[in-house]
């Protein structure tokens, strides 16, 4: 007669009240005691299902898997997920996987913004002096918020979170990042006003906030003495065009196009080292301030679709200019043909204005590669690329025909 083999039933380790030790007690247990408990559990139990595994065993198993990688095991069971999502476990996990290792720091740098909140908090506080860069090549489907814990990253000098599906407001605590030199939050869905704490980023050299939904008046930044590149295009900023920077002579590239700015301050003339200026797609409804012609280092001046009027006489002062775009405005009077011919232009866009036809622009001999000028023009008809169709289509799509 054959004896049937019976499997021992799993029994759970219980405390004095007959309850299974919870995650918090497992995490707070000294290592020696936790190891002893684990060995005793192994003797007394034969686990057939994941939910039978005590929290202290979960801790010992998963603590040695690197932070970002361990998160894929959250789906194994509800108990495991609860264990892995505590700050205590996150701290133990990051310590156990050796924060000194360059590979681990690199992984945190790349994935920090996508980590669950407990890991963000622990990584920010534990690695605050070692994290130099926060970037992401990962394009998430779900939206994230820029966490308040970013203020803990005191050593970070480069934040590049381009197209990370960020939403919500930029936290005020970002002003605590005194070592920050580059901040790129472009192509997200950030909203609200820009925090005034940006003025505390003394060492910031590049600020890129393009293609978000930021709004309100742009704050004065009188303490930003190192700012060289400012890209705030395609937002909803209002009020005067920002020109108050700590050292205006540092700024080289400035793109504030496609916002709702309404005033061009005379102080724009203080940006004397500026090489690239794009203020297209705003509603200034004014004449060109004469201070614009003082920006003698300009290589590119773009201010199309700004409802501007008057004359463009004075443009000849910009002798380094290779791109001039004043299309889709209401400029009138005689075209300053002699001034335009004196420039070594490659791109010239003058169409959709109201220039008189008393003078024609003779473009023969100029090295233009791309241009659009309403009929008052003479040329040899070779090697020219007419582009007013593209201009019209662009503004038609934006409702600015």
Which residues pair with residue 220 across a beta bridge? none
Q: How far is CA 3 from the centre of its chain?
A: 70
Domain assignment of residue 163, yes or no: yes
> Where among 129, 151, 174 does a domain terminate?
129
> Where among 98, 129, 160 does a domain terminate?
129
Q: Are strands 354-355 and 213-217 parallel, antiparallel or unpaired?
A: unpaired
In whole angstroms, give the CA distance from residue 248 to residue 237: 20
Mean pLDDT, residues 347-372: 84
Distances in Å between the alpha carbon of 66 and those of 101, 260, 326?
11, 47, 55
Residue 6, SS3 per DSSP? coil
Mean pLDDT, residues 114-118: 77
Residue 287, SS3 per DSSP? strand
pLDDT value of residue 160: 92
Give the number of domains in the chain.
2
CATH number, domain at 284? 3.80.10.10
Domain assignment of residue 13, yes or no: no
Residues 117 and 155 in one domain: no
In whole angstroms, give the CA distance from residue 20 to residue 34: 14
pLDDT value of residue 347: 94
Residues 177 and 311 in one domain: yes
Domain assignment of residue 6, yes or no: no
pLDDT value of residue 9: 45
- pLDDT tens-place string over residues 85-107: 888 887 787 777 665 555 456 55
Residues 61 and 99 in one domain: yes
Structural domain range at position 298: 130-397
Closest to 113 measured CA to CA, from 157, 146, 64, 72: 146
Is-contact 39 33, C-beta < 8 A? no
Mean pLDDT, residues 93-122: 67
In whole angstroms, give the CA distance from residue 72 to residue 69: 6
Domain assignment of residue 323, yes or no: yes
Q: How confident is the model at residue 304 (pLDDT cuts 50, 70, 90)?
A: very high
In whole angstroms, give the CA distance from residue 234 to residue 82: 41
Which residues pair with residue 206 across a beta bridge? 182, 229
For a pLDDT cut of 70, what percent of the chain falls above it?
Answer: 73
Is-contact 74 84, C-beta < 8 A? yes
Residues 101 and 147 in one domain: no
Q: Is the pLDDT of residue 356 over 90?
A: no
pLDDT value of residue 127: 72
Domain assignment of residue 11, yes or no: no
- pLDDT tens-place string over residues 154-201: 889 999 999 988 999 999 999 999 999 999 999 999 999 999 999 999
Of residues 177 and 49, which shows the higher confidence score?
A: 177
Residues 239 and 338 in one domain: yes
Domain assignment of residue 256, yes or no: yes
Q: Is the pLDDT of residue 302 over 80?
A: yes
What is the CA angle 306-309-311, rounded to 5? Answer: 125
In whole angstroms, give the CA distance from residue 285 to residue 215: 20
Residues 104 and 143 in one domain: no
Residue ranges in 247-386 assigned as alpha helix (H): 337-341
Is-contact 88 27, C-beta < 8 A? yes
Domain assignment of residue 43, yes or no: yes
- pLDDT tens-place string over residues 327-352: 999 999 888 989 999 999 999 999 89
Residues 88 and 232 in one domain: no
Residues 97 and 238 in one domain: no
Is-contact 275 252, C-beta < 8 A? yes
Closest to 66 measured CA to CA, from 89, 97, 91, 105: 97
Range with lowest mean pLDDT among 70-84, 103-117, 292-306: 103-117
Q: Which bin fits 110, alpha (ψ -120 to 50), beta or left (φ > 0)? A: alpha
Mean pLDDT, residues 105-124: 72
DSSP 118: H
Q: How confident is the model at residue 13 (pLDDT cuts 50, 70, 90)?
A: very low
Residues 25 and 170 in one domain: no
> Where among 105, 129, 153 does a domain terminate?
129
The H or E element spanning position 42 is: helix 31-44
Q: Is the pLDDT of residue 64 over 90?
A: no
Residues 110 and 213 in one domain: no
Residue ranges in 204-266 assigned as alpha helix (H): none
- pLDDT tens-place string over residues 210-263: 999 999 999 999 999 999 999 999 999 999 999 999 999 999 999 999 999 999
In the sheet with 370-372, reading across from the earlier edge strand, the strands are: 133-135, 158-160, 182-184, 206-208, 229-231, 253-255, 276-278, 300-302, 323-325, 347-349, 370-372
- pLDDT tens-place string over residues 267-296: 999 999 999 999 999 999 999 999 999 999
Phi/psi at 152 (nearest 5 deg)? Answer: -80, -15
Is-contact 251 228, C-beta < 8 A? yes
pLDDT value of residue 268: 96
Residues 390 and 322 in one domain: yes
3-state secondary structure 83-107: HHCCHHHHHHHHHHCCCCCHHHHHH
Residues 206 and 333 in one domain: yes
Domain assignment of residue 4, yes or no: no
49-53, 138-142, 203-207: which has the highest mean pLDDT?
Answer: 203-207
Q: Is the pLDDT of residue 401 over 80?
A: no
- pLDDT tens-place string over residues 21-42: 454 555 555 555 555 555 555 4
Q: Are strands 347-349 and 206-208 parallel, antiparallel or unpaired?
A: unpaired
């Amino acid at each position: 007669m054959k004896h049937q083999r019976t499997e021992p039933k799993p029994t759970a380790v219980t405390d004095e009240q007959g309850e299974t030790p919870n995650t918090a007690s497992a995490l707070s247990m000294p290592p020696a005691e936790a190891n002893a408990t684990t060995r005793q559990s192994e003797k007394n139990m034969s686990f057939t299902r994941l939910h039978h595994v005590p929290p202290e065993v979960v801790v010992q198993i998963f603590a040695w898997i690197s932070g970002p990688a361990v998160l894929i095991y959250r789906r194994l069971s509800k108990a495991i997920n609860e264990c892995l999502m505590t700050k205590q476990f996150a701290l133990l996990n990051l310590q156990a996987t050796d924060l000194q290792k360059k590979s681990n720091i690199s992984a945190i740098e790349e994935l920090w913004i996508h980590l669950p909140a407990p890991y963000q908090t622990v990584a920010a506080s534990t690695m605050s002096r070692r994290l130099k860069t926060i970037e992401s090549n990962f394009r998430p489907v779900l939206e994230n918020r820029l966490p308040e814990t970013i203020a803990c990253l005191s050593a970070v000098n480069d934040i590049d979170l381009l197209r990370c599906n960020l939403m919500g407001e930029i936290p005020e605590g970002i002003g605590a990042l005194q070592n920050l030199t580059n901040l790129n939050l472009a192509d997200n869905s950030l909203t609200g006003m820009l925090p005034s704490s940006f003025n505390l980023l003394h060492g910031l050299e590049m600020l890129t906030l393009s293609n978000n939904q930021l709004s309100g008046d742009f704050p004065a930044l009188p303490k930003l003495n190192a700012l060289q590149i400012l890209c705030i295009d395609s937002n909803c900023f209002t009020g005067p065009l920002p020109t108050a920077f700590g050292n205006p002579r540092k700024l080289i590239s400035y793109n504030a196009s496609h916002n709702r700015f309404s005033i061009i301050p005379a102080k724009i003339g203080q940006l004397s080292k500026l090489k690239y200026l794009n203020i297209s797609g705003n509603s200034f409804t004014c004449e060109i301030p004469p201070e614009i012609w003082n920006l003698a280092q300009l290589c590119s001046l773009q201010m199309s679709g700004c409802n501007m009027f008057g004359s463009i006489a004075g443009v000849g002062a910009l002798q380094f200019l290779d791109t001039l775009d004043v299309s889709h405005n209401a400029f009138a009077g005689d075209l300053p043909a002699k001034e335009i011919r004196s420039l070594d232009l490659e791109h010239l866009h003058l169409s959709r204005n109201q220039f008189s036809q008393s003078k024609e622009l003779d473009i023969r001999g100029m090295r233009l590669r791309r241009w659009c000028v309403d009929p008052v023009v003479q040329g040899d008809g070779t090697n020219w690329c007419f582009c007013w169709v593209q201009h019209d289509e662009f503004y038609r799509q934006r409702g600015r025909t």
